[in-house]
Amino acid sequence: MRTVGLAEADLICVSSSGGKDSVLALCRTIDRCRALGIPLSRVVVIHADLGPLEWRAATGDECLPGHSPLSAPDLAAAQAAHFGVRFISCRNMLRTLPELWNTKSQSSLVGHSHCEGSMAFKRDQIEKVYTMLVKELNLYRAARIVEVMGLCAHESSGRTDRLAAYDHRDDQGWAWTHNAHASTKNTRTVSIACPLADQGLDRPLRKGEKISKEKRAECEAGVRAECAAIHEATGLPTLSWVYRYLPRLSCLCCVFMSRGLLARSAKLNPAFFRQLAIDEAKWEKTWSLEFTLSDVIADAETLDLDDSSTDTEWGNQS
Ligand code: SF4
């Protein structure tokens, strides 16, 4: 199926967590729309709100200068407001993420290598928003949606492989593919566009190609530096306070966090982790095959958040 370009799109939907990759993808989208003369009324920022798993606002002196003290959902909304584009927050109130994990049959909560439950949790909510937006358009033909995502190939080998399988790169280096899951037979065609696919790299990575830890860190630092420069120049809140302590603005207990990162999050969110450890015991499962959330809470007790030598590696995100 042919992908739809930005100029042909009825709607340009930017998926945003409020994190640095999302806001940079939003900035690139706005710049490109302006250059092509596309009205910003076609741009919608969509935040899939995971409720208690979202980062809270900073308290006390947690927020460093140049960073935003807002909660993750409020930050995503503020970034959309900065550009005057529509913002939609979607949330499934019926089930919490731990409940979804609890439906899994394996004995550990994380178990295997990815969080199908929460990805579907986000994806399904966003697709409901597409249905609503297409109804609003009330077109005589199938709507053309471009879904912009801040995926970067350097983030993990899962992301490298995923982006390597995309249909093509355009003349601006954006990676494009057709989204068969979100498209329907008659009402909408959805294309995925990733402006940051090869961010910090000389060329697109091939499937199975590995990048060094040093190169990964260099790419991450480049994203942060660009975000900081944009904030400095325009006042757009680009970097959450959370980046002082963790490399990504993920869920509080992302299934791809190392034990060290989970301990950092537990130190910052003690009540949330205490409740999760109670659930873990109740379900008679463990967080992973190697350790429990009670182990993580014990790690957090002796952790110094300003000690950057602790384990801050992220797992293999798809
Ligand atoms: S941040 Fe982690 S746990 Fe949350 S939806 Fe993304 S991959 Fe899943």
Per the listing, tokens 């958040």 go with 305
Instruction: Tell me how far the alpha carbon of residue 114 lies from the centroid of ligand 1, in angstroms.
Output: 9
Sheet with strand 188-194: strands edge to edge: 86-90, 43-48, 11-15, 143-148, 188-194, 175-178, 168-169
> Atom 3 in ligand 1: which residue has the minimum CA distance?
254
176's enclosing H/E stretch is strand 175-178
Instruction: Tell me how far the alpha carbon of residue 254 lies from the centroid of ligand 1, in angstroms.
Output: 5
Domains of the chain by start residue, with CATH: 6-247 (3.40.50)
Could you tell me how many helices (H) and strands (E) the chain has, helices first? Answer: 9, 7
Instruction: Tell me how far the alpha carbon of residue 279 lies from the centroid of ligand 1, in angstroms.
Output: 19
From the list 137, 150, 129, the residue with the least C-alpha distance to 49 is 129
Q: Model pTM greater than 0.85?
A: yes
Q: Are 273 and 253 in contact, with CB atoms under 8 Å apart?
A: yes
**Res 52: pLDDT:** 84
CA distance 147 to 314: 25
Tell whether ligand 1 has an atom less than 6 A from the beta carbon of residue 3.
no
Best residue among 15, 151, 254, 269 to mutate for probing ligand 1's pocket (most ligand atoms within 8 Å of CB) is 254
CA distance 31 to 18: 18
Task: Express each pLDDT in 159-171 by its tens digit.
Answer: 999 999 999 999 9
Task: Express each pLDDT in 178-202 by its tens digit.
Answer: 999 999 999 999 999 999 999 999 9
Instruction: Tell me how far the alpha carbon of residue 271 lies from the centroid of ligand 1, in angstroms.
Output: 20
CA distance 35 to 135: 28
12's enclosing H/E stretch is strand 11-15
**Res 122: pLDDT:** 79
> Atom 2 in ligand 1: which residue has the minimum CA distance?
254
Average pLDDT for runs of 10 along the chain of length 318: 90 97 98 98 94 92 97 98 97 58 59 48 86 97 98 94 96 96 95 97 95 93 97 98 95 88 96 88 79 94 85 66
Q: Which residues of 41-58 are buried (b: 16+ CB within 10 A; e: fewer)?
A: ebbbbbbbbbeebbbbeb
Instruction: Tell me how far the alpha carbon of residue 64 lies from the centroid of ligand 1, in angstroms.
Output: 25
CA distance 74 to 294: 30
Best residue among 47, 54, 118, 317 to mutate for probing ligand 1's pocket (most ligand atoms within 8 Å of CB) is 118
**74 strand-pairing partners:** none
**Res 13: pLDDT:** 98
